[in-house]
């Protein structure tokens, strides 16, 4: 299979997953599906622009800043996906620090590609490669930290992120050694192929994790509903018991009242009966 055929297959696969996620976003109205949709759209736009002819400045910007824009959304998605809480300040600060660094790098690429000629200098490529290696190193460190969180949803996210890291690292190494493979044909010798494989495996893991997460939420809601219904039934039984006790007390009071009336009537009758007998 040549790379052009594989690229169409890749875009079709990611597009199908995107449509499924949009349907889930419309159905459930959760922020995580919106972030996931934006994340996939950035990757689709990145690889579509890589396949068309655009001016050199725009091409350089897409090559360098496109993945970084996807990673900015990736960290927002990670925070919501894993359900990080304000108490987990270490991870939140790490994710926000990474987002800030990526945003600064995107601004740097805007200056380098559109406002100056820095993109034509050899140092620009060196800085870009260094930034990518630094990003992968930090991502591996964060994966090791997050792996300690014992959660099935988190494990899905970690496995998917690992696929992305492996694919990105392989693509980078092949880009460095690309001249050695220039004489070979096929998608296997194209650096972007491995990055795209990593992205597909990552999205599959993310989709499975979202499905599992939604299923767990449904189970939790069902359990909470059952608990609430049980509490309501208990309160209903308690009220019925109290009502029965109140009715029993009311009957006892009526019985005592009747007895008191009978005694009062007897008290009134007895003197008259004695007087009549004496008369």
Average pLDDT for consecutive 10-residue bins of the chain (279 residues)? Answer: 87 94 88 93 94 90 92 91 75 86 93 89 88 86 79 88 91 74 65 92 93 86 89 89 87 84 71 56
Helix axes of 3-28 and 31-51: crossing angle, nearest 10 degrees: 160
**CA–CA distances in Å: residue 154 to residues 37, 81, 111, 146, 187:** 19, 8, 37, 8, 32
192 CA to centre of own chain: 27
Rounded CA separation 266/189 (Å): 116
Rounded CA separation 151/78 (Å): 14
Rounded CA separation 183/178 (Å): 10
Selection from 143, 108, 142, 111 nearest residue 128 by Cα: 108
Positive or negative, the Cα torsion across 37, 54, 187, 198? negative
- Identify the residue whose tokens are 């009526």: 254
7 three-class SS: helix
| Confidence at residue 177, expressed as pLDDT on a 0 to 100 scale | 74
Q: Judging by beta carbons within 10 Å of its beta carbon (0-12, 13-18, 19+), is residue 52 exposed, middle or buried?
A: exposed
**CA–CA distances in Å: residue 260 to residues 27, 228, 256, 270, 271:** 70, 47, 6, 15, 18
The two three-digit tokens of residue 26, written as one number: 């419309």
The two three-digit tokens of residue 211, written as one number: 């499905």
pTM over 0.85: no
| Confidence at residue 129, expressed as pLDDT on a 0 to 100 scale | 86
| Confidence at residue 205, expressed as pLDDT on a 0 to 100 scale | 94
| Confidence at residue 268, expressed as pLDDT on a 0 to 100 scale | 65
Under 8 Å CB-to-CB from 214, ≥6 apart: which residues?
24, 28
Q: Judging by beta carbons within 10 Å of its beta carbon (0-12, 13-18, 19+), is residue 30 exposed, middle or buried?
A: middle
């Amino acid at each position: 299979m040549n790379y052009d055929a594989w690229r169409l297959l890749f875009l079709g696969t990611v597009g199908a997953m995107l449509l499924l996620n949009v349907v889930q976003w419309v159905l459930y109205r959760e922020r995580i599906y919106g972030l996931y949709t934006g994340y996939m759209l950035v990757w689709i736009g990145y690889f579509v622009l890589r396949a068309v002819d655009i001016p050199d400045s725009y091409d350089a910007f897409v090559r360098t800043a496109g993945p970084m824009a996807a990673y900015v959304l990736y960290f927002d998605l990670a925070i919501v996906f894993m359900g990080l809480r304000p108490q987990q300040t270490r991870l939140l600060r790490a994710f926000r620090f990474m987002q800030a660094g990526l945003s600064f790098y995107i601004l740097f690429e805007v200056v380098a590609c559109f406002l100056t000629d820095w993109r034509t200098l050899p140092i620009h490529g060196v800085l870009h490669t260094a930034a990518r290696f630094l990003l992968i190193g930090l991502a591996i460190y964060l994966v090791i930290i997050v792996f300690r969180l014992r959660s099935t949803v988190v494990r899905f996210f970690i496995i998917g992120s690992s696929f992305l890291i492996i694919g990105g690292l392989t693509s980078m190494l092949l880009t460095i050694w690309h001249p050695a493979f220039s004489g070979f044909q096929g998608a296997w010798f194209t650096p972007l192929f491995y990055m795209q494989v990593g992205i597909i495996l990552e999205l599959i893991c993310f989709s499975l994790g979202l499905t599992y997460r939604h299923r767990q939420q449904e189970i939790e809601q069902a359990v909470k509903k059952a608990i609430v219904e049980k509490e309501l039934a208990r309160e209903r039984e308690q009220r019925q018991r109290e009502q029965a006790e109140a009715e029993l007390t009311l009957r006892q009071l009526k019985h005592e009242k009747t007895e008191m009336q009978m005694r009062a009537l007897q008290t009134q009758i007895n003197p008259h009966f004695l007087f009549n007998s004496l008369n």
